[in-house]
Amino acid sequence: MAGCAARAPPGSEARLSLATFLLGASVLALPLLTRAGLQGRTGLALYVAGLNALLLLLYRPPRYQIAIRACFLGFVFGCGVLLSFSQSSWSHFGWYMCSLSLFHYSEYLVTAVNNPKSLSLDSFLLNHSLEYTVAALSSWLEFTLENIFWPELKQITWLSVTGLLMVVFGECLRKAAMFTAGSNFNHVVQNEKSDTHTLVTSGVYAWFRHPSYVGWFYWSIGTQVMLCNPICGVSYALTVWRFFRDRTEEEEISLIHFFGEEYLEYKKRVPTGLPFIKGVKVDL
């Protein structure tokens, strides 16, 4: 893991990432450049080259590594906004681009603010897993093919809006869980209890035992509902359900080891929040 927190003042990564995310999002001004005479593709190529040159000039590793990732996510967000307002069958894909970029960027930003000791480049979750990458590419491919051969399938606005609401709900719930857990939240399941590790049962944790997983569960399925992707919609639901079933059991084994009877009592009172997932079975 490529951490930077030990070499920089507190909060500097958050400020750096926010500034460069906004810099990338300034691609929203590209239509003004094209109206000034630049061709669309030429203007985009010059814009991307200029952004990278500016980042190389301003930052050195490891700060450049943070800056280029945050700037890229901001750029994707800006392009998503432009696409969302376009009069094309790809407008709902623009919603998806905004949702995806905000999810990955906010994972880093909230970790930088909330738990800087665990912060690393991996906090962007851009290299989450091979399976995650394949799933994303599959959804893009399905949308593209269906948009070519069955464009009417991608114009079911009420379904896309439903997916957008699922995404917003999932994102808000996950970030609420991260803020509530504070330094107890980590992207990696912990097998050893730290001195500061406490059992969080307040806030959204009073509703669900695993609110961050519940949020991610509905966020991921919502992205496919938003795209009106029937194949990936079903496969995402089955895959993420199985993933969180196994992940929940793995995490609860550690939590029972850490907190013993305190966690078992909490487990009795509060559901996981994930459909048909009860967590690890405990023989009493």
Could you report the per-residue pLDDT of 53-81, keeping only the tens digit for each?
A: 999 999 999 999 999 999 999 999 999 99
pLDDT of residue 38: 57
Whether 8 shows a pLDDT value over 90: the answer reads no
pLDDT of residue 3: 43
Residue 128: which pLDDT band, with cuts at 50, 70 and 90? confident
pLDDT of residue 97: 98
To the nearest 10°, report the CA torsion of 104, 128, 97, 158. -100
Residue 5: which pLDDT band, with cuts at 50, 70 and 90? very low
Mean pLDDT of the chain: 91
Two tokens, residue 22: 């906004």
Whether 194 shows a pLDDT value over 80: the answer reads no
pLDDT of residue 47: 84
Angstrom distances, CA of residue 96 to CA of 83, 165, 219, 224, 275: 10, 12, 11, 9, 24
pLDDT of residue 46: 83
Angstrom distances, CA of residue 47 to CA of 43, 67, 201, 235: 6, 16, 47, 37
Q: pTM (2 decimals)?
A: 0.91
Two tokens, residue 236: 């995402």
Distance CA 119, CA 126 (A): 14
Residue 43: which pLDDT band, with cuts at 50, 70 and 90? confident
Q: Are 13 and 70 in contact (CB under 8 A)?
A: no
Average pLDDT in the 42-56 region?
Answer: 88
